Amino acid sequence: MLSWLEETSNLEELASSMIQNGFFDHEPLIVRTTPDPQKYVVVEGNRRFATIQILLQTDAAVAADLEFDFEVEPTAEQLDLIRVVPCVVVTSDAEVRKFLGYRHIGGIKTWSAEAKARYLETEVEGAAAAGSVNPFKDVGKRVGTNALGVRGPYLALKTLKVARDDLDLGETARTVLRERFGVWNRLLNSAEVRTFIGLGDAMDYAAIQSRLTQLSRPNLKMVLDDLVPQAGTRLALLQDSRDVTTYGRVLANDAAREALIVYRDLDLAAQVADGSTLPQKLRNITKSLDLLVRNIDSFEIGSSEVEAAASLFNMARSLNVLVKDRLDGED
């Protein structure tokens, strides 16, 4: 554990702060009692505790061969300031969960979106097992948020677990959970996205459990795939949570969704879903082309540019023929 914290956290910066300022008494360690009255388990403040161990070269730090490399070694007086630090002692798992939930969900020291969701899932399942009529509301009260603030992360995590464990979407689901969970959580705030993957408008605990067994694997796969880079691409199709509203509108529109599948371009698909008339769409395209013509000297021209322009010209001619044919047919 000590080695892992040293590798994954910036403990050296924390150590420098402790040497200069000592331990901040207003942020005590939270420790849990154990059957041995002389031993405690640190449940909050492990980075700070690990830093202290390395600075003081405790047996655990020496055994792990961990030490900080400072240009100027700390003095004995500086180290004495961190030999005794304030702690708050809790005596039960319930106290631990209550404290961590309030501090990291609704408090000032919030966890990552994934960490919040994992904690909330445990609390919701526990409340439901204990007979809570509305576990989302009850857990929300304990951690300083509302039912929506609990339900959203819970639903996002549970849906990914179903995708991973039951729908054979393990690799993609794990990637989204590990790297894109914040965007995924935001996605499930969209009614269009929830409807598309089969969650619908389920709000209470029992309805959500039922809906989780009725998810559409193909649709869920499509949405998850859009969150991770595909073969031959460097970026995911859905890169930013600010695009969620647009993405939801595209999913809800058959023609726009088909355009998204074919061209893998959210902006293009959004144009299909925006409800503009054909003349409006053509005027927008014309403006874009006019801008290209005006700035043609700013581009380097080669064979690929000539081919692209020829393709555009041919497509414009085809569109012109189709529009005229439609008009003649209506006459």
Nearest to 250 by CA among 240, 260, 237: 260
| Cα gap 238→224, rounded to integer Å | 10
Distance CA(93)–CA(130), nearest Å, equals 16
Element (H, E) at 44: strand 40-44
pLDDT tens figures, 97-117? 777 766 666 555 566 788 889
Reference 271, options 259, 262, 283, 279; nearest CA is 259
Q: What integer is the mean pLDDT of 75-103?
A: 83
In sequence order, the β-bridge partners of residue 88 are: 30
> How much is the pLDDT for 106?
57
Is pLDDT of 46 > 90? no
Longest dimension (CA), the chain: 97
Indicate the length of the chain as a whole number. Answer: 331
What per-residue confidence (pLDDT) applies to 62? 92
Quickly state the pLDDT bin for 283 (edges 50, 70, 90).
confident
Q: What is the mean pLDDT of the chain?
A: 89
**Poorest-pLDDT segment among 16-20, 181-185, 236-240, 325-329:** 325-329
Q: Measured between alpha carbons, how far is 93 from 74 in angstroms, rounded to an integer? A: 37
The arithmetic mean of pLDDT across residues 84-102, rounded, is 80
H or E stretch covering 181 = helix 181-187
Q: Please give the average per-residue pLDDT across 252-262, as a whole number.
A: 95
Model confidence at 20: pLDDT above 70: yes
Evaluate whether 57 touches 67 at the Cβ level (below 8 Å). Answer: yes
Query: Looking up tokens 């576990």, which residue turns up?
Result: 135
124-173 per-position pLDDT tens digit:
999 999 999 999 999 988 887 899 999 999 999 999 999 999 999 999 99
Torsion of CA 205, 206, 211, 212, to 10 degrees: 70
- Give me the CATH topology for the region 2-91: 3.90.1530
Share of the chain above pLDDT 70, in %: 95
Strands 87-90 and 29-33: parallel
Between strands 29-33 and 40-44, the pairing is antiparallel
Query: CA-to-CA distance for 208 and 186, rounded, in angstroms?
Result: 17
**pLDDT score at 331:** 59
Percent with pLDDT over 90 in the chain: 57
- Please give the pLDDT value at position 150: 93
Mean pLDDT, rounded, for 55-75: 90
Q: Please give the average per-residue pLDDT across 204-226, as a whole number.
A: 97
| pLDDT above 60 (res 292) | yes
DSSP letter at 241 equals G
Pick from 132, 149, 155: which is nearest to 208 by CA? 155
Phi and psi torsions of 31, nearest 5°: -125, 150
Domain locations along the chain: 2-91, 96-239, 278-330
pLDDT of 79 higher than 60: yes
Rounded mean pLDDT of 16-27?
86
pLDDT of residue 92: 85
